[in-house]
Chains A and B, each alone.
Chain A
Amino acid sequence: MEQRLTIEPVTRIEGHAKISLLLGPTGRVDEAHFQVTQIRGFEKFVEGRPFFEMPSLTARTCGICPVSHELASSKACDQLLAVTIPPTAKNLRRILNLGQLIQSHALSFFYLSAPDLLLGMDHPPETRNFFGIAASDPQFARDGIRLRQFGQQVIERLAGRRIHPAWVVPGGVNTPLAETARAAILDEIAEIKALACNHLERFKQTLAQHEEHIRVFARFPSLFLGLAGQDGKLEYYDGLVKIIDSAGVTIADHLDPSDYQTFIGEAIEPWTYLKFPYYKPQGYPGGMYRVGPLARLNIATHCGTDLADRELQHFRALEQGPVSSSFHYHYARLIEVLHAVEMIENLLADPKILDRNVRAVAGVNCLEGIGMTEAPRGTLIHHYKVNGDGLIEWANLIIATGHNNLAMNQGILQAAQHYINDGAIQEGVLNRIEAVIRAFDPCLACSTHAVGTMPLMVELLGPGGILVDRVWR
C-alpha cells in the first residue's frame, strides 16, 4: 500500500514549490519529491531580443537577486563584445555582487530561517515568522533588517536603485562611482562588521541546540562545486571552476566556465519544472553536487580577509573533510556576510575605484557568450548565442537552486525518513522538512511572498487517492 504526503506550498522560501512524500506499506517514507510548480520561460522569450538588454531583462527573473543575473548576463555579453572590461568596472561589479550577497544572506538567515532557529521548529506557526522574531527579540530583528539594508544601500549607492538597477551593461557599468557614495559606504563598514561578527558568534553558541538538525538536515556525502580564485581563494565574480568530492579531494580544478557543458549535464524529471544538473563524468543522478555558501567554503583554500579566514578555521573544524551537513549553510552564510563586508572595505580603499573609465564599447564580435558568477545561492550560468545583428537566438540559464536540486531532494528524503515513521502527520515535523529546504535558501523564481500567512495543507492519501488524513495550517 502506498500513501502520499504533500506539503504545498513550501513556506518561507523564494518562489513556489511543494513537497510530496510517498509512504510505503509500513508508513516509512520511500520517496521524496521537491516539486517546483511554476515555469517562467525566460530562455524562450528572450529569443529575438537585442543582447544589450539581457542584463536588465534577465534581472527581472528575481526581485531578491536581480544583481546576480545582471552580473552573469553582463559577463556573457562581454564575451559577445569580445572585450576585456576596464579593471575599475570589474571591481565595481564585484562590490555590487558583495552588496547583493549581504542583503540576500541577511534575508535568508534573519527573515526566513531565524523563526525556526530562534523560536523553535515546534513554535506555533501563527507567530513562527519574522514578526514573531520582532516580538520576541526586537534587537535581533533590527540587526537583521540593518544588515539587509546595508547590502541594499551598497547596491543603491553604486547602481542608483536597490532592485532591478540598469547600471550593469555589456562592457562594464554605465556610470563611475561617486566619491560621496564611496564615503557613505565606508562610513558604515565598522558598524556592519561588528553586527556580522556578533551574529556569527551568537549563532555558533547555539549550535549545540541544533545537534539533531545538523545530523539529519541533508547530511550526506556529495560533490561540491564552485568558482575559486587562481590561488584557491574564495571567489564570487571571477575565477575558474573547482570540484571536490566528499572526502575533500579535488577531482577537477581550473575548469574554464566557458566549457561548462563538458562537465555539467542537465537532466529532466516529469514531475517538476526545475531541471537536475549533475556532474557529467559521474552520470545522473550519481553526479550530485552542492553549490552555494557551504560548497564555496568547502572548496576555498582561504577567504583572503582576516576575520573571515579566522572564522573559516573554526568552520573547517566542524567535521573531518568537507562540512557535509546542509544545516551549516546557515553558518557558511554568516561567514560569507562577514567576508563580504571586509571585501567591500578593501575594494573601496583603492583610489582607482573612482576611475572614470568604466565601460568598454564594442559591437558584436563573437556569436556565443558564457558568463558564470557565484550568486548568493551558488554558481549561476548564463549562456547566449546571437546572430550577426546581436539578436538572441538561443539562451540557457542554470541557476544556483537548480544545481542543488538533487541534493535538496535527497535532503528531504533523509529528514522525512528520520521524522516520519508511521505516516502520522505532525505540524512541527513538516516544518522540519521544510527547514531542510530553507537551509539551501532556494530561489525558485522571482519573488518572495507574505511571510507566515500562506496556507499549508498536507494530505495523506491512501491507495486510489482516498484521503486518510488532512492537516491545515
Chain B
Amino acid sequence: MTAQIITLTINGLQVSGLASETILQVARENNLPIPTLCFLEGLSTQGSCRLCMVEVAGSPKPQPACVTLIQEGMEISTHTEQLLHYRRKIIELLFSERNHVCAVCVSNGHCELQDLAREHGVDHIDFPYRYPAMTVDASHSRFVLDHNRCILCTRCVRVCGEIEGAHTWDVKNRGIRSLIVADFDTPWGSSTTCTGCGKCVHVCPTGALSEKGKSVAEMLKKRPSLPYLVANRTLEH
C-alpha cells in the first residue's frame, strides 16, 4: 500500500509529506525550524513542553507540532508574534519554576534551555521565582541528578524505558510537584534496575543529569551522535 501524500503550506511555503508525518517532521524536512525541548528524535513524542506550538488556519488554538499529524490543505504559521510571545513565556516559566542558576551550572554554555532563552531574547523573567528547596541525588557512583535544573521533559524516562529497556526512571506526583524518581523513589545509587549506561545523562537537555566530577560548564552532552537514537529513528521510518 502506498502512503498517502499530503500537501500543505508552512509560513506560506507549499510543502508535502506523508500522512503519517507530524507538522514538526515536515517542517524540519523543509528546513523550517520549530523550537522543541521535550522532543528528541528517536524517542516517543510527549508533547508536554508546548514550545513547538504552531498556528493552524481555522483552528481556534495553537497545536503542538510534534504530535499533530499533517492534513491536506493545512495552512500553518510557525513564528507569529503571538507564538513567539507564548514561547518566551513558556521559557520564563521553566526558569522561574526551579533553580536554574546558569552561571554555576555544569551545563552552562551547553544547555538547550539556555540556548532557547538566548534565541528567544529572554533577558529577564517576568514571573516571580519560586526558589523551591530541591535536592541533589549524587548517590550514583558515576552520575548526578540535580532536581534544581530539571524541566520534567521526561527524555530520561523515555530513553531508559524505550531504548535501554531498564525503565529505571519515572515521574512521581503531579503538576508542579512532579519529580523524576529512580525505581520506586529510591536513591539512584540504590537502584536495582539502573544499568549505568548513561543514556539518560546524554539526552537530558539541561544540567539536571550530569557525569559526576564535572565542574561548572564542563558537562558536554554527546546528543547529536548518539547511535541508539539514530538507529531508533531509522527503524521508525
Q: Which residues of A contact B (CB under 8 A)?
A: 48-50, 52-53, 55-57, 60, 164, 166, 169-170, 174, 361, 363, 389-391
Q: Assuming A60-B103, A166-B108, is B215 touching A55 (CB within 8 A)?
A: yes
Nearest 4 A-B pairs (CB), nearest first?
Answer: A56-B216, A389-B138, A169-B215, A166-B216
Query: Complex Cα distance A174/B215, Å?
Result: 9
Chain A residues near B214: list those with CB within 8 A: 52
Q: Which residue of A lies closest to B214 (CB)?
A: A52
A53 touches B106 (CB 8 A): yes
B103 touches A391 (CB 8 A): no
Contact of B172 with A by CB under 8 A: no
Q: Which residue of A lies closest to B104 (CB)?
A: A57
Given contacts A60-B104, A363-B212, A390-B212, 12 further A-B contacts (CB under 8 A): A48-B135, A50-B138, A50-B146, A53-B216, A56-B103, A56-B104, A56-B216, A166-B108, A166-B218, A170-B215, A389-B189, A390-B138
A48 touches B136 (CB 8 A): yes
Contact of B165 with A by CB under 8 A: no
In terms of DSSP, what is the predominant structure of the interface of chain B? loop
Chain B residues near A170: list those with CB within 8 A: 215
Contact of B139 with A by CB under 8 A: yes
B136 touches A363 (CB 8 A): no
Q: Which residue of B lies closest to A46 (CB)?
A: B104
Q: Which residue of B lies closest to A49 (CB)?
A: B136
Q: Assuming A48-B136, A363-B213, A391-B138, is B218 touching A53 (CB within 8 A)?
A: no
Query: Complex Cα distance A164/B104, Å?
Result: 10
Contact of B144 with A by CB under 8 A: yes
Query: Complex Cα distance A49/B139, Å?
Result: 13
Contact of B217 with A by CB under 8 A: yes
Query: Complex Cα distance A389/B216, Å?
Result: 18
Q: How far is the CB of B132 from chain A (nearest CB, A)?
A: 13
A-B contact count (CB 8 A): 50
A391 touches B217 (CB 8 A): no
Chain B residues near A48: list those with CB within 8 A: 135-136
Q: Which residues of B contact A (CB under 8 A)?
A: 103-104, 106, 108, 135-136, 138-139, 141, 144, 146, 189, 212-218
B136 touches A50 (CB 8 A): yes
In terms of DSSP, what is the predominant structure of the interface of chain A? loop
B218 touches A174 (CB 8 A): yes
Chain B residues near A390: list those with CB within 8 A: 138, 212
Chosen A-B contacts, 16 in total, with CB atoms closer than 8 Å, are: A48-B136, A49-B136, A50-B146, A52-B213, A55-B215, A55-B216, A60-B104, A164-B103, A166-B216, A166-B218, A174-B215, A363-B213, A389-B139, A389-B189, A390-B138, A390-B212
Q: Which residue of B lies closest to A48 (CB)?
A: B136
Query: Complex Cα distance A391/B139, Å?
Result: 10
A50 touches B217 (CB 8 A): no
A52 touches B215 (CB 8 A): yes
Query: Complex Cα distance A389/B188, Å?
Result: 11
Q: How far is the CB of B95 from chain A (nearest CB, A)?
A: 18
A391 touches B136 (CB 8 A): yes
Kindly identify which residue among B135, B141, B189, B215 contacts A53, using a CB–CB cutoff of 8 Å.
Answer: B215
Chain A residues near B189: list those with CB within 8 A: 389
Query: Complex Cα distance A73/B166, Å?
Result: 38
**Of A50, A60, A170, most B-chain CB atoms within 10 Å:** A50
Query: Complex Cα distance A391/B188, Å?
Result: 15
Q: How far is the CB of A25 from chain B (nearest CB, A)?
A: 50
Chain A residues near B103: list those with CB within 8 A: 56, 60, 164
Q: How far is the CB of B107 from chain A (nearest CB, A)?
A: 12
Kindly identify which residue among A57, A363, A391 contacts B216, using a CB–CB cutoff of 8 Å.
Answer: A57
Chain B residues near A60: list those with CB within 8 A: 103-104
Q: Assuming A50-B144, A361-B213, is B218 touching A169 (CB within 8 A)?
A: yes
Q: How far is the CB of B218 from chain A (nearest CB, A)?
A: 6
Query: Complex Cα distance A289/B44, Å?
Result: 65
Chain A residues near B215: list those with CB within 8 A: 52-53, 55-56, 166, 169-170, 174
Q: Which residue of A lies closest to B106 (CB)?
A: A53
Query: Complex Cα distance A53/B215, Å?
Result: 5
Q: How far is the CB of A392 from chain B (nearest CB, A)?
A: 10
Chain B residues near A391: list those with CB within 8 A: 136, 138
Q: Which residue of A lies closest to B213 (CB)?
A: A52
Query: Complex Cα distance A56/B103, Å?
Result: 8
Query: Complex Cα distance A171/B138, Å?
Result: 19
Query: Complex Cα distance A341/B106, Å?
Result: 33
